[in-house]
Structure 1
Amino acid sequence: MSFATTMLRVDPRPLPHIDRAALAECIEACIECAATATACAEACLSEPDLPELTECIRASLDCADVAATTARVLARHPAYDANLRRALLAACRVAAALSAEECERHAERHNHCRVCADACRRCEAACQSLLDV
């Protein structure tokens, strides 16, 4: 069981209109995406074809920042401002999609980009799931 799931289970406050399992999944996906995208950007910096990876690095770093912020805000009580939560989820979904698209362009040559694209797609889907509620 993840820490996000455990914390959401023991939080005494009600979570109206939010599935705790989906919320925990999204928090975990955002955290994983942020760490993976940061690591991918760092790995890209060590590649011999660095000039070709500039946009990938930018997209990964943007995604990492947005995903980390989204995870932190979602980990707070998520019912406090639905408009802010939805805006962050939408932004994170877009950032994850952009990073995944860019990493997918390089995935055949760079395994770290393949791993990053997978983490970004998971984050994108988790954000969309919460937006659909």
Structure 2
Amino acid sequence: MHPDRDTFDLPQLRAAIEAASACASTCASCADACLRGGHAGDMVRCIDLCNQCAAICRTTADILSRPGPNGDSWEEVVRACIAVCRECADECGSHEMDHCRACAQACRECAEACETLLAVAD
């Protein structure tokens, strides 16, 4: 919504910011649920990926929310977000818990929104 933003298709930018923010929250909740679910030792990889994904998604949303990113570094952050989201979606998607399934879906949606943003930014 920034008034100086003129380098992106605003609906796609907004969708990527919203998806990254939602994914960060969902990943943090999933990691917390895995820690408290009684089998944390079996969920170490899931917890680790969820924490990494939450961090990169928060960063991505923050960077995309700023006016006019300089250079191509923002694209690298978005690509990293896509990669971590895909990896986290695969891990969480392999578990039966509802919170993991919800996390996998949020990760897929974030990756797709970020991929769409990159496509319209080129």
- Taking structure 2 as the reference length, the TM-score comes to 0.93
**Which amino acid counterpart does residue 6 of structure 2 have in structure 1?**
L
Provide the C-alpha distance between the structure 2 equivalents of 1:15 and 1:87, rounded to a whole number of angstroms.
20
Match of 2:4 in 1: 13
- The structure whose RCO (Cα within 8 Å, separation 6+) is larger is 2
Match of 1:3 in 2: none
Equivalent residue for 2:42, pick from 16, 27, 52: 52
Secondary structure at 2:42 match in 1: helix
Secondary structure at 1:12 match in 2: coil
Per-residue CA deviations over 1:30-57 (Å, capped at 9, x if unaligned) read 0000000000000001122222210000
Does residue 91 (structure 1) correspond to residue 75 (structure 2)? The answer is no
Equivalent residue for 1:76, pick from 40, 58, 66: 66
Equivalent residue for 2:99, pick from 108, 112, 128: 112
Structure 1: 4+ residue segments shifted above 2 A = none
Give ranges in structure 1 of 5+ residues lacking alignment. 1-7
Does residue 129 (structure 1) correspond to residue 113 (structure 2)? The answer is no
Q: How many residues align?
A: 120
Provide the C-alpha distance between the structure 2 equivalents of 1:118 and 1:14, rounded to a whole number of angstroms.
29
Deviation at 1:82, TM superposition (A): 4.0
Does residue 30 (structure 1) correspond to residue 20 (structure 2)? The answer is yes
- Taking structure 1 as the reference length, the TM-score comes to 0.86
> Identity of paired residues, percent?
37
Per-residue CA deviations over 1:50-94 (Å, capped at 9, x if unaligned) read 2221000000000000000000010001x3324111001100001
**Which amino acid counterpart does residue 46 of structure 2 have in structure 1?**
C
Give ranges in structure 2 of 5+ residues lacking alignment. none
Provide the C-alpha distance between the structure 1 equivalents of 2:119 and 2:100, rounded to a whole number of angstroms.
28
Provide the C-alpha distance between the structure 1 equivalents of 2:5 and 2:22, rounded to a whole number of angstroms.
26
